[in-house]
Structure 1
Amino acid sequence: MTARSLELFLPDDVATTRLGEDLALALRAGDVLLLDGDLGAGKTTLARGLIRTLASDPAYEVPSPTFTLVQSYDTPLPVHHFDLYRLSSPEELEELGFDEAVASGTALVEWPERAGDAMPATSLRIALDHQGDGRRVTISGDGETFDRVVRSLAMRDFLVASGWGEARRARFMGDASARAYETVTLVGRETLVLMNSPRLMLGPPVRDGKPYAEIAHTAQSVAAFVAIDRALAQAGVSVPGIVAQDLDRGFLLLEHLGTGAFLGAEGKPVAERYAAAAELLAMIHGKHFAHRIEAAPGIFHDVPPFDRDALMIEVDLLVDWYVPAVTGAPASDALRDGYRAAWNAVFDRLADKEYGLVLRDYHSPNIIWRAERKGFDRLGIIDFQDALIGPLAYDVASLAMDARVTVPEEIERSTVAAYVAARHAAGAFDEAAFREAYAIMAAQRNSKILGIFVRLDRRDGKPQYLKHLPRIRDYLGRALAHPALAELRDFYLANRLLEDFGA
């Protein structure tokens, strides 16, 4: 393939350092950056800006690797800075541990021509040349690394257009999707959050010619976030204010709601906070939300339904991923047919239950606790772009059976009780119907999560999610204890779907 390239003019060292920052935020483990340029062309300035960004410390000490040939930094993404000017032959790279360095993190290589053809074909080349009082930079490469760098530079352009071009960017957090978040800071101004939300890649067809994300109604563009954000704000929910937006490219500049952890000491649930979150949810469920919401003038988001197909493809993740992982063999056709028949009978019971706006991921990672505030404003809510119109009990189950933390049964009960009390206080409320829907949606959600967490291990190389399986099985057992789910529970027990097979 022919390498692609782009050119930039950097007027001074500040701009060169800023480019290092933009590059750092695009890097992943395995990336190699080749720095070309004469002495004084700015390679060290660029490398220092990049390394300090990875360290999240603008004063981080970054010595030159000229005499050591390699300088390694134990940053969240490990970075190894090579200077090959004194390299005698390409064979010496092995002695420097180049392959091990790239396997564990990212590498910056000055004087790469000394390595001959030993640099990976996927390397990104950054050439710096003097131009007047500044320097001209040419970035060339092909593949995923180049694409990530192009997007990071586009994010800088978005900041420039929004009046934040000189802001310092820093990694903030990511989630299980392709979305990522950064903080942007300028002296004398409130810190903001920069959301990078590329358009969803739908993937291959999995059923009836449709990809999973389409059947499950996963949000395909950032317009969904903007629309739901505006609707929730109008309803009195503390969600991020939108400072600037580029819906075409998937960039948002957002109010920073704070860093207060919803969980207490040592990451444990606090009953009072869960009750407050349940009461906020009850308030939301008492509102009417339009199914079609304007995200920008002339741009509308149609909130999808949490329909039978979406419910079923989610629970199918258990037989698609969890069963093969824990039994060592694919789920049989008989198991699949019986499983779907049992779930279809359960989903029939949702027909007369209460429906409305379901945020879908209403749990501790997406709730910010702001103790200094009053009432509902104590809770900042994020990550709701996948909202659907579905059984309202789903969000209560998402909160009270928090997938990321063990919620003791007494806190689960008090959380649900707080929600029920708030709904009764607001007017007529069918508690029995809610509790049945709560059990159904808790069983549906936790069955789905068992499959997702195994998929994250087997497909995505993230084994850390397996440690959560015992908790999710316990939650599933709690949900299946409801009398309305007796037949489904019998099916799970008969097919050993609640047992630990040593996954």
Structure 2
Amino acid sequence: MTGTLSLSLASDADTAKLGEDLALAVRRGDCLALSGDLGAGKSTLARALLRAMADDDDLEVPSPTFTLVQTYDLRLPVAHFDLYRLGDPSELDELGFEEALEAGVCLVEWPDKAADLLPADLITLTFDFDPGGGRRVTIGGSEQRLARVRRVLAIRQFLDNQGLGDAQRRHLTGDASTRAYEYIRAAGHDRMVLMDAPRQPNGPPIRDGKPYSQIAHLAEDVYPFVALAKSLRAKGFAAPEVLGGDYEQGILLIEDLGTGMVIDDAGRPIPERYRASVACLAHLHQMPFERDIPVTDHHVHRIPDYDRTAMKMEVELLLDWHLPWKRNAPATTDERQQYLAIWDGLIDQLSTVEKTLVLRDFHSPNIIWRAAEEGMERIGLIDFQDAMIGPSAYDLVSIVQDARVTVERPLVDQLMQDYLDARRMGGGFDEASFLKSWAIMSAQRACKLNGLWVRLMQRDKKPAYMKHMPRTLWHLSVAFEHEALAPLREWCARVGIGHTESTLQER
């Protein structure tokens, strides 16, 4: 199904702003066909899009009128075609069009010269002069592609409503979820971050009439983020201030905590920064948190429990994705029953362990190092919208067994000792119970991740995460060192899941 939308562009600045917005909407494989008379705005939009993709206002963007194509190695590769002088549509192949489209994004001016050789699923932009002054552009395409265009335009309208209509927008990052982030730069303001987190439709019910996201207590809108940011800031932690938002649309304008990382340029942990992060975590685990947090006059966020159903749903990723990938055969009925029974027993042992606020992903990508600050303020916290009340050991597992960074065993031991020393000073700390819960949650997280990597590769077409599997298999072997994990260790040995010496070398 296709559709169109029409926009009025009063000036070249408005045309350039649209190009900047479209730079945030395009994806690999998109072809933008730009039509219109000379001077209608095609080149202005293309130039703005390319400069936004490069985050370089001075990027030289020559017209490809004579060369027919100019290529740019940017966040996504972009090929800018001008087909005005194309002799025959068949020459498009000689220009490398198909290869450019497969690798990234194609901008095509004078697309009619290509006859019917452009892909059917285009994003078309047709420029016309408006009799009342300025220009009008009609954007057409499939509903899937137009949805992305409408989204970036909705965000621009949000910024306008915030008095930031002329703000510069730049891609920051996306993550394994559907959220995306932008930098917002506006005169008279410090740089800000915009979170683009539209409410997602529920997936199919998979258990008790509920989709996966509800069973695993994943945030389905931005209210949990706003609530947790408010609560963490009230306790003295460096969570970003929410500067504005459209909660129903899933758009938040938040404080930029900076770009400092706890890893070095080679991707290795910086020990003093990891140790400071663990000190922050130990402090957090001694803090009481209210379960019910008001967000608006009409909405209260209740922090969910990290309950048995959620834990088991996550560990089933190992059964459903990792094991079939590992041996090209699904788990047998007996293997599944044995595995789930083992996890029921392990979860039973968690009933008496310490429970606190669990941020859920307390690891290197979500920790901002703020060198100019002191104490807890040095540790910037982000990506905590899925927080729950659960075993405090889970977050220590998250950083000590960082899924994306190899933390060598000597530093692991140092971080564990730092945490235990800090907790002993607080009094009332049951170390033996905590260490058992740490081993159980280590195994739980490793089982989840070793299944998740395969799911991201096979279902979501994101194979890059598979590089982390040797590391997370090693993490599982470390969890197996605790006697409480003997049943799971034996089950994994029977079905052929585990690490090898080569796996350890690859990590």
TM-score interval, smaller chain: over 0.9
Give the deviation of 1:92 after TM superposition.
2.2
Task: Name the structure 2 match of 1:394.
Answer: 394
Asked if residue 474 in structure 1 is aligned to residue 478 in structure 2, the reply is no
Q: Is the 8 Å Cα contact of residues 259 and 368 (structure 1) preserved in structure 2? A: yes
Give the deviation of 1:48 after TM superposition.
0.2
Asked if residue 26 in structure 1 is aligned to residue 28 in structure 2, the reply is no
Where do 1:81-480 residues align within 5 Å?
81-131=80-130, 132-480=132-480
Q: Is the 8 Å Cα contact of residues 271 and 414 (structure 1) preserved in structure 2? A: no
> After superposition, what is the alpha-carbon deviation per residue over 1:412-467, rounded to whole angstroms, capped at 9, x for unaligned?
12212222222222221111111111111011001110011111222222222222
Q: Is the 8 Å Cα contact of residues 362 and 399 (structure 1) preserved in structure 2? A: yes
Give the deviation of 1:15 after TM superposition.
1.4
> After superposition, what is the alpha-carbon deviation per residue over 1:168-192, rounded to whole angstroms, capped at 9, x for unaligned?
1111111110101110112342100
Q: Please report the RMSD computed on the Cα atoms of aligned residues, expressed in angstroms.
A: 1.6
Task: Name the structure 2 match of 1:45.
Answer: 44
Whole-angstrom distance in 1 between the partners of 2:109 and 2:24: 20
Return structure 1 stretches of 4+ with deviation > 6 angstroms.
none
Whole-angstrom distance in 2 between the partners of 1:219 and 1:80: 37
Whole-angstrom distance in 2 between the partners of 1:488 and 1:170: 46
Q: Is the 8 Å Cα contact of residues 292 and 301 (structure 1) preserved in structure 2? A: yes
For residue 494 of structure 1, give the secondary structure of its aligned residue in structure 2: helix
Give the deviation of 1:117 after TM superposition.
2.5
Number of residues of Structure 1 aligned to a counterpart in Structure 2: 502
Unaligned residue ranges in structure 1 (runs of 5+): none
Task: Name the structure 2 match of 1:69.
Answer: 68
Q: Is the 8 Å Cα contact of residues 200 and 219 (structure 1) preserved in structure 2? A: no
Q: TM-score, normalised by structure 2?
A: 0.96
Q: Is the 8 Å Cα contact of residues 317 and 448 (structure 2) preserved in structure 1? A: yes
Change (3 A) 1:330 1:114: same
Q: Is the 8 Å Cα contact of residues 217 and 386 (structure 1) preserved in structure 2? A: yes
Whole-angstrom distance in 1 between the partners of 2:493 and 2:477: 10
Deviates more, 1:25-34 or 1:183-192: 183-192
Give the deviation of 1:400 after TM superposition.
0.7
Give the deviation of 1:381 after TM superposition.
0.6
For residue 75 of structure 2, give the secondary structure of its aligned residue in structure 1: coil
Give the deviation of 1:14 after TM superposition.
1.3
Q: TM-score, normalised by structure 1?
A: 0.97
Deviates more, 1:420-429 or 1:254-263: 420-429
Task: Name the structure 2 match of 1:60.
Answer: 59
Unaligned residue ranges in structure 2 (runs of 5+): none
Give the deviation of 1:115 after TM superposition.
1.9
Give the deviation of 1:113 after TM superposition.
1.6
Give the deviation of 1:245 after TM superposition.
0.7
Deviates more, 1:485-494 or 1:66-75: 485-494
**Residue type of the alignment partner of 2:41:** G
Give the deviation of 1:265 after TM superposition.
4.7
Q: Identity of aligned pairs, percent?
A: 49
Whole-angstrom distance in 2 between the partners of 1:443 and 1:270: 25
Give the deviation of 1:33 after TM superposition.
1.0
> After superposition, what is the alpha-carbon deviation per residue over 1:295-314, rounded to whole angstroms, capped at 9, x for unaligned?
22211212221111110010
Task: Name the structure 2 match of 1:495.
Answer: 495
For residue 267 of structure 1, give the secondary structure of its aligned residue in structure 2: coil
Give the deviation of 1:207 after TM superposition.
3.0
**Residue type of the alignment partner of 1:285:** H
Give the deviation of 1:160 after TM superposition.
0.7
For residue 169 of structure 1, give the secondary structure of its aligned residue in structure 2: strand
Whole-angstrom distance in 2 between the partners of 1:370 and 1:217: 30
Change (3 A) 1:16 1:265: closer
> After superposition, what is the alpha-carbon deviation per residue over 1:139-188, rounded to whole angstroms, capped at 9, x for unaligned?
12222211001000101111111111111111111111010111011234
> After superposition, what is the alpha-carbon deviation per residue over 1:222-269, rounded to whole angstroms, capped at 9, x for unaligned?
111111111111111101111111001000111100001111352211
Q: Is the 8 Å Cα contact of residues 360 and 386 (structure 1) preserved in structure 2? A: yes
For residue 266 of structure 2, give the secondary structure of its aligned residue in structure 1: helix
**Residue type of the alignment partner of 2:80:** H
Deviates more, 1:200-209 or 1:368-377: 200-209
**Residue type of the alignment partner of 1:365:** P
**Residue type of the alignment partner of 1:127:** T
For residue 32 of structure 2, give the secondary structure of its aligned residue in structure 1: strand
Whole-angstrom distance in 2 between the partners of 1:288 and 1:311: 23
Task: Name the structure 2 match of 1:6.
Answer: 5
